[in-house]
Amino acid sequence: MKTVTAQSHAIIAGPARALVAAALALAAAGCRGEDATARVGHARFAVEVAASEAERERGLMYRAELAEGHGMLFVMPRPQHAAFWMKNTHVALDILYFDAHGRLAEIVPDVPPCATDPCPIYPSTGPVRYVLELPAGSAARHGLKRGDRLKPPAGY
């Protein structure tokens, strides 16, 4: 899933093009660096952190799978309304929206991959600071509920 924002394109030539192509291929294959740990209530998740605009825009696009106990934590630069869609996202997800104090404000469960054009949009109902995407059904399996606290990885 990715956040819905305006996109821009840059022209990249020469050796840099090959490096960018290799990095995109690795990302599309689901390869990534070490996971950080986030807690929600009593549950722990290995998360990739999407803190930059580019990371938030790409999100979990082109991933063939997302392992149980793993997710992506989107960190907004400030509390704001957020809207997510499932374009080019191949796995069903739970979307958890957290307010500025790290309290779970909303759970959008079992969001399917996009099957129509345009893709449905899943907006937050209020300003959020964090959004956590987990494999579909994770929130229910872990007993997560509104008001649970998020403990993001150190530095976020």
User: What does the H/E/C string look like for the chain?
Assistant: CEECCCCCCCCCCCHHHHHHHHHHHHHHCCCCCCCEEEEECCEEEEEEEECCHHHHHHCCCCCCCCCCCEEEEEEEEEEECCEEECCCCCCCEEEEEECCCCEEEEEEEEECCCCCCCCCEEECCCCEEEEEEEECCHHHHCCCCCCCEEECCCCC
Instruction: Tell me the pLDDT band of 14, cut-offs 50, 70 and 90.
Output: very low
For residue range 21-35, list pLDDT tens digits in order: 434 333 433 334 346
Say yes or no to pLDDT of 74 above 60.
yes
The least confident of 20-24, 46-50, 60-64, 111-115 is 20-24
The contacts of residue 125 (CB under 8 Å, 6+ apart) are 97, 105, 106
Predicted confidence at residue 6, as pLDDT, reads 30
Give me the mean pLDDT over the 93-115 stretch: 97
**pLDDT for the residue 35:** 67
Q: Quote the pLDDT of residue 100.
A: 96
Q: Which comes out higher in pLDDT, residue 111 or 10?
A: 111
Is residue 107's pLDDT more than 60?
yes
How far apart CA 113 and CA 63 sit, in angstroms, is: 11
Question: What's the rounded mean pLDDT across residues 107-133?
Answer: 96
Q: How confident is the model at residue 1 (pLDDT cuts 50, 70, 90)?
A: low
Q: Which of 6-15, 26-35, 126-135 has the lowest mean pLDDT?
A: 6-15
Alpha carbon distance 65, 82 (integer Å): 24
